[in-house]
Amino acid sequence: MALTEAQRCLDCPNPTCMEGCPVSINIPSFIKNIERGEFGKAAKVLKMTSSLPAVCGRVCPQEKQCESKCMHLKMGKKAVAIGSLERFAADYAREHGELSAPVIAPAKGIKVAVVGSGPAGLSFAGDMAKMGYDVTVFEALHEIGGVLKYGIPEFRLPNAIVDVEINTLEQMGVKFVKDCVIGKTLSIADLEADGFKGIFVASGAGLPNFMNIPGENSINIMSSNEYLTRVNLMDASNPESDTPMRIGKRVAVVGGGNTAMDSVRTALRLGAEKAMIIYRRSEAEMPARLEEVKHAKEEGVEFLTLHNPIEYIADENGCVKQIVLQKMELGEPDASGRRSPVPIEGAIETIDIDTAVVSVGVSPNPLVPTSVEGLELGRKNTIAVNEKMQSSIPTIFAGGDIVRGGATVILAMGDGRKAAASMDEMLSAK
Amino acid sequence: MYKIVSKEQFSQNVFRLCVEAPLIARACRAGNFVIVRIADKGERIPLTIAASDAEKGIITLVVQRVGLSSTRLCELNEGDEILDVVGPLGQPTHIENHGTVVCAGGGVGVAPMLPIATALKKAGNRVISVLAGRSKELIILEKEVRAVSDEVIIMTDDGSYGDKGLVTEGVERVIKREKVDKCFAIGPAVMMKFVCLLTKKYEIPTEVSLNTIMVDGTGMCGACRVTVDGKTKFVCVDGPEFDGHKVDFDGMLKRLAAFKDMEREEIEKYNDVHCEADPAQNEDAELIDRNAEWRVALRGKMKAKDRTNIERCVMPELDPVYRARSLR
Ligand SMILES: Cc1cc2nc3c(=O)[nH]c(=O)nc-3n(C[C@H](O)[C@H](O)[C@H](O)COP(=O)(O)OP(=O)(O)OC[C@H]3O[C@@H](n4cnc5c(N)ncnc54)[C@H](O)[C@@H]3O)c2cc1C
Ligand code: FES
């Protein structure tokens, strides 16, 4: 099947698909390696530019990136399934132990620190280790992987896949320090005093947004981060775990992104009888990957699009029992080009629920930004960086969601790579 | 791994643990807390740092055996290791010379109060501490608090020690007697609520330290959220200390109550395993059993059944599409 699909790729002289890839994976090369049956080598091609290919194959919105630029589309045909092929090659290599640990340059004896072990931090760590730096990654939680571990559920991205990538990094000499909150346990100044010459901040967009509507602090209403963390990181649905979790029977998930899809599909898997997506725009505007929306629908999730929650009603114990929805219609396109929803007057609907998961975006985690004096901040507490991912303090670089607000895995990885290249340039120049 | 270097029992259910955590000890300030995970599959629970010794690299935690995790923690002994200790988290207490301050501590709340009272004294305040508990046995750290206070008032519900009455009565006595510039209240949510109602009446600014449910402790999940002055705040990053007159205590009490039932189920599960396995622990198990009245237990059992139903759920199952595409 993969062979047949690989055959579809035209191996264009000017591969437009690569323009669509934030880390410029050499797409035709890896696909052609698949075609000739050299799956391991295909994986090697992927490894050259992407430190986490098995992950990307699963979480990238390919239909908006590489596949959207595929020549086939210009000819009125369907794009080559680049994402699936990427996943295929990476999985093959992993399952057949054909994971060639990358060649590492001789040790430079220069220490660099990474704050946060999500995709941005991991890809930075991988690149720096390859160049011979002595890399230490500091992570606040008790698990390495950031959103890949605590957010994206097992059914979409098995933890084992992430662990393989982390093991590879460990083999390359990257050190991981868990339970260490930079800005709290250790400050950036402590790191510098410890001899770290460069610091890459990849602390993610940790802070969940709420809508600030009446009743939102009722019991059994939680952020998607809390919901997914309880299930993924703390294993709350496993009877052997100590972390409690109330299993909702009628679950409303508010939002239309990947996080919302992950939450709603998780709710189904935990035994919800009714699992709903509530989204204030129409389906066409949903930021989630196409595939996720499709899966959610196939699995029986109800979609209430053009519905916006305006209130939660709680029972006498303070537990949520109803969600009040304002029906919307699409108005004129807004600044982002998306047609903004406007309320239909008087069209209000009340639905019985026992659990609500709020998944309306995240803001950057303020822990690091606010702990460093003189660090210039951008919009909404993001860290401001130049095109080299360098902050206003020359030794501090940053990338991923802490710079972009909630973005994507592949962009975070791209940032990590770029920051690694620039930091190397800076440290070599000295 | 974080080693317990010493353990001391304060009362039947309250223990003091000194834990090796050099980085945290170095960075911590009054008002900070840590998140602790005792073992694999354990939950993450917040505990205030009661004292720290940067030189020895040791932090002191005072733990009350109430729920599952605190019970597990209290069962650890000198020399045992705790899997994860993260911190110091939260904003440190703002310390300045206010003049005369009343420090009201209820139950184990006295432990987090101690470093604050110490810092306040150091900053030149006249410190009057009011310690309260149900009975004599539950008054902890009295000697240590005396050492940093100009005056100590002790209140017990049953009158077995100090004066009979609630913490608020002790605080009001001081307020009526002399000018109080600031109040700090740490203890059970209900106690803080009533202290705040009282000080509001006398218009004395009051800081409270909230002990909400937490998961990560870094601002990532929002489990710890409370309403303060009409706005949603995250206790782990914005707090744990807030202006007590602006906190929506009723909302917070409801959220705390919601998890109590779940906690009971978890404890039952725990007892199931541990009671039979280890007769020596029967005594402990009984203590916990008492917390769970049979009615609640019954309700809990139904839910426990619900939980076993979960096993049938397909949570860790790979996506069929993935399976179909992986390899052939
Ligand atoms: C449920 C969910 C589903 C998603 N699905 C997709 C998808 O399908 N496709 C896609 O492209 N993107 C998806 N995303 C978005 C994507 O996960 C993020 O854009 C990406 O993970 C950002 O990477 P990062 O490295 O910047 O940060 P993160 O992955 O957030 O990692 C940051 C890490 O830093 C740690 N940290 C924070 N502060 C500190 C500190 N002070 N000291 C030490 N450590 C610290 C955090 O604990 C965390 O582990 C999804 C996000 C979620 C929540
Ligand atoms: S404990 Fe998760 S945000 Fe505070």
The two most distant CA atoms of chain A are separated, in Å, by 70
Partner residue opposite B86 with nearest CB, options A179, A212, A218? A179
Would you state the torsion angle of the CA atoms of residues B298, B303, B304, B305, taken in this order, to the nearest 10 degrees?
100
Task: Mark which of B229, B256, B283 sits at the end of a domain.
Answer: B256
Q: How many CB pairs under 8 A join A and B?
A: 178
| CA distance linking residue B169 with residue A347, whole number of Å | 53
Task: Mark which of A301, A331, A358 sits at the end of a domain.
Answer: A358
Mutate: best of A138, A156, A176, A185, partner B, most B CBs <10 A: A185
Q: What distance, in Å, lies between the first and last C-alpha atoms of chain B?
A: 43
| CA distance linking residue A249 with residue A267, whole number of Å | 8
- Does a structural domain hold residue B117? yes
The H or E element that residue B127 is part of is strand B126-133
Ligand 1 pocket: which of A397, A409, A411, A417 to mutate (most atoms within 8 A of CB): A409
Q: What pLDDT, on the 0 to 100 scale, is given for residue A323?
A: 95
- Does a structural domain hold residue B192? yes
Task: Kindly state whether residues B49 and B157 are assigned to the same domain.
Answer: no
Task: Kindly state whether residues A87 and A32 are assigned to the same domain.
Answer: yes
B23 interfacial to chain A (CB closer than 8 Å): yes
- Does a structural domain hold residue B296? no
Q: How many residues does chain A have?
A: 430
| CA distance linking residue B59 with residue A178, whole number of Å | 18
Q: Do A219 and B254 touch (CB under 8 A)?
A: yes
Task: Kindly state whether residues A268 and A244 are assigned to the same domain.
Answer: yes
Task: Kindly state whether residues A317 and A368 are assigned to the same domain.
Answer: no
Task: Mark which of A328, A358, A388 sits at the end of a domain.
Answer: A358
Ranges of residues in chain B with a pLDDT under 70 are: 258-328
Ligand 1 atom at minimal distance to the Cα of residue A399:
26
Task: Kindly state whether residues A182 and A317 are assigned to the same domain.
Answer: no
DSSP state of A137: E
| CA distance linking residue B285 with residue B131, whole number of Å | 29
Q: What is the CATH number of the domain that holds B6?
A: 2.40.30.10
DSSP H stretches of helix in A244-298: 258-269, 290-298
Structure tokens at A368: 């690091």
Task: Kindly state whether residues A283 and A216 are assigned to the same domain.
Answer: yes
Task: Kindly state whether residues B110 and B232 are assigned to the same domain.
Answer: yes
Q: For residue A237, list chain B residues with Cβ-Cβ distance below 8 A.
A: 310, 313, 315
pLDDT digits (tens), chain A, 430 positions: 777 777 887 777 788 888 888 888 888 888 888 887 788 878 888 887 777 778 888 888 888 888 888 888 877 778 888 888 888 888 888 887 755 666 788 888 899 999 999 999 999 999 999 999 999 999 999 999 999 988 898 888 888 888 988 988 998 899 999 999 998 899 898 999 999 999 999 999 878 999 989 999 888 999 999 999 888 887 766 767 777 777 788 999 999 999 999 999 999 888 889 999 999 998 988 989 888 898 889 888 999 999 999 999 998 888 899 999 999 998 888 777 777 888 998 899 999 999 999 999 888 888 888 888 888 888 778 888 888 898 888 899 999 999 988 788 888 988 999 999 999 999 988 6
| C-alpha distance from residue A262 to each of A165, A188, A296, A301, B264 (Å) | 22, 34, 9, 11, 29
| Strands of the B151-156 sheet, one edge to the other | B163-164, B151-156, B126-133, B100-106, B182-186, B206-209, B241-243
- Does a structural domain hold residue A90? yes
Task: Mark which of B237, B256, B275 sits at the end of a domain.
Answer: B256
On the 0-12 / 13-18 / 19+ scale of CB atoms within 10 A, B17 is buried
Positive or negative torsion for Cα A421, A422, A424, A425: positive
Q: Do B315 and A367 touch (CB under 8 A)?
A: no
Closest CA to B288 of B64, B110, B40, B136: B64
Closest CA to B112 of B96, B90, B84: B90
Task: Mark which of B213, B230, B256 sits at the end of a domain.
Answer: B256
- Does a structural domain hold residue B45? yes
Task: Kindly state whether residues A226 and A352 are assigned to the same domain.
Answer: yes
- Does a structural domain hold residue A103? no
Given a contact cutoff of 8 angstroms between Cβ atoms, the answer to whether B45 and B10 are in contact is no
Q: Where are the beta strands (DSSP E) in A298-383?
A: 302-305, 307-314, 320-333, 339-352, 355-358, 362-363
Task: Kindly state whether residues B228 and B128 are assigned to the same domain.
Answer: yes
**Tens-place pLDDT, residues B252-311:** 888 777 666 666 666 555 554 443 333 333 333 322 333 434 334 433 543 433 433 333
Partner residue opposite A142 with nearest CB, options B84, B263, B327? B84
- Does a structural domain hold residue A105? no
Q: For residue A367, list chain B residues with Cβ-Cβ distance below 8 A.
A: 218-219, 237
Task: Kindly state whether residues B8 and B136 are assigned to the same domain.
Answer: no
Report the SS3 class of residue A22.
Answer: coil
What is chain B's alpha carbon radius of gyration, rounded to the nearest angstrom? 21
Which residues make Cβ contacts (< 8 Å) with residue A145, sequence separation at least 6? A117, A118, A122, A159, A162, A166
SS (H, E, C) A61-129: CHHHCHHHHCHHHHCCCCCCCHHHHHHHHHHHHHHCCCCCCCCCCCCCCCEEEEECCCHHHHHHHHHHH
Q: What pLDDT, on the 0 to 100 scale, is given for residue A115?
A: 95
- Does a structural domain hold residue A100? no
Q: What pLDDT, on the 0 to 100 scale, is given for residue B275?
A: 37
- Does a structural domain hold residue B321? no
Q: Which amino acid is at B287?
A: L
- Does a structural domain hold residue B262? no
Task: Kindly state whether residues B106 and B15 are assigned to the same domain.
Answer: no
DSSP state of B30: T
| CA distance linking residue A282 with residue B98, whole number of Å | 56
Q: Do B255 and A217 touch (CB under 8 A)?
A: yes
Q: What pLDDT, on the 0 to 100 scale, is given for residue A241?
A: 72
- Does a structural domain hold residue B320? no
Which residues make Cβ contacts (< 8 Å) with residue B189, sequence separation at least 6? B210, B211, B249, B252, B253, B256
| CA distance linking residue B289 with residue B73, whole number of Å | 17
Task: Mark which of A43, A71, A95 sits at the end of a domain.
Answer: A95
Could you tell me the distance, in angstroms and rounded to a whole number, from the CA of residue A278 to the centre of ligand 2?
24
Task: Kindly state whether residues A302 and A377 are assigned to the same domain.
Answer: no
- Number of C-alpha atoms within 13 angstroms, CB side, residue A349? 16
Query: What b-and-e string marks burial along B264-300, b requiring 16 or more CB atoms within 10 Å of the CB?
Result: bbbbbbbbeebbeeeeebeebbeebbeebeeeebeeb
On the 0-12 / 13-18 / 19+ scale of CB atoms within 10 A, B12 is exposed
Mutate: best of B221, B268, B322, partner A, most A CBs <10 A: B221
Task: Kindly state whether residues A217 and A201 are assigned to the same domain.
Answer: no
B1 interfacial to chain A (CB closer than 8 Å): no
| C-alpha distance from residue B216 to each of A105, A150, A351, B251 (Å) | 37, 10, 31, 21
Q: What pLDDT, on the 0 to 100 scale, is given for residue B239?
A: 84
What is the span of the domain harbouring residue B174? 100-256
Strand partners of residue B2: B82
Could you tell me the distance, in angstroms and rounded to a whole number, from the CA of residue B220 to the centre of ligand 2?
5
Task: Kindly state whether residues A175 and A155 are assigned to the same domain.
Answer: yes
Report the SS3 class of residue B226.
Answer: strand
**How many domains would you assign to chain A?**
3
Task: Kindly state whether residues B126 and B49 are assigned to the same domain.
Answer: no
Q: What is the CATH number of the domain that holds A127?
A: 3.50.50.60
Task: Kindly state whether residues A185 and A224 are assigned to the same domain.
Answer: no
Task: Kindly state whether residues B113 and B75 are assigned to the same domain.
Answer: no
Structure tokens at B209: 């330290």
Report the SS3 class of residue A182.
Answer: strand
Residue with tokens 């029972």, as numbered in its chain: A315
DSSP string, B57-123: TEEEEEEE--SHHHHHHHH--TT-EESEEEEEESPPPP----SEEEEEEEGGGHHHHHHHHHHHHHT
On the 0-12 / 13-18 / 19+ scale of CB atoms within 10 A, A108 is middle
Structure tokens at A425: 């340039």
- Does a structural domain hold residue A102? no
Listed by number, the residues of chain B in 204-243 with a beta carbon closer than 8 Å to a beta carbon of chain A are: 215-216, 218-223, 225-227, 231-232, 234, 237
DSSP H stretches of helix in B178-248: 189-201, 235-238
Cα of B266 to nearest chain A Cα, Å: 6
Residue with tokens 């009409």, as numbered in its chain: B230
- Does a structural domain hold residue A101? no
Task: Kindly state whether residues B150 and B231 are assigned to the same domain.
Answer: yes
Q: For residue B315, list chain A residues with Cβ-Cβ distance below 8 A.
A: 153-155, 231, 237, 266, 269-270
Could you tell me the distance, in angstroms and rounded to a whole number, from the CA of residue B218 to the centre of ligand 2?
6
Task: Kindly state whether residues A354 and A371 are assigned to the same domain.
Answer: no
Q: Do A142 and B37 touch (CB under 8 A)?
A: yes
Task: Kindly state whether residues B159 and B201 are assigned to the same domain.
Answer: yes
What is the span of the domain harbouring residue A74? 2-95
Task: Kindly state whether residues B230 and B124 are assigned to the same domain.
Answer: yes
Partner residue opposite A217 with nearest CB, options B251, B318, B326? B251
Task: Kindly state whether residues A128 and A71 are assigned to the same domain.
Answer: no
Query: What b-and-e string marks burial along B232-251, b requiring 16 or more CB atoms within 10 Å of the CB?
Result: bbbbbbbbbbbebbebbbeb
Ligand 1 atom 2, closest CA = A259
Given a contact cutoff of 8 angstroms between Cβ atoms, the answer to whether B277 and A253 are in contact is no
Partner residue opposite A226 with nearest CB, options B24, B215, B255? B215
Partner residue opposite A84 with nearest CB, options B86, B310, B325? B325
Cα of A294 to nearest chain B Cα, Å: 12
Residue with tokens 């929306």, as numbered in its chain: A293
- Does a structural domain hold residue B274? no
Q: Do A186 and B27 touch (CB under 8 A)?
A: yes
| C-alpha distance from residue A155 to each of A58, A242, B37 (Å) | 11, 22, 25
| CA distance linking residue A226 with residue A263, whole number of Å | 10
Q: What pLDDT, on the 0 to 100 scale, is given for residue B263?
A: 62
| CA distance linking residue A324 with residue A350, whole number of Å | 4
B175 interfacial to chain A (CB closer than 8 Å): no
Average pLDDT, chain B: 79
Q: What pLDDT, on the 0 to 100 scale, is given for residue B269?
A: 55
Could you tell me the distance, in angstroms and rounded to a whole number, from the CA of residue A147 to the centre of ligand 1?
4
**How many domains would you assign to chain B?**
2
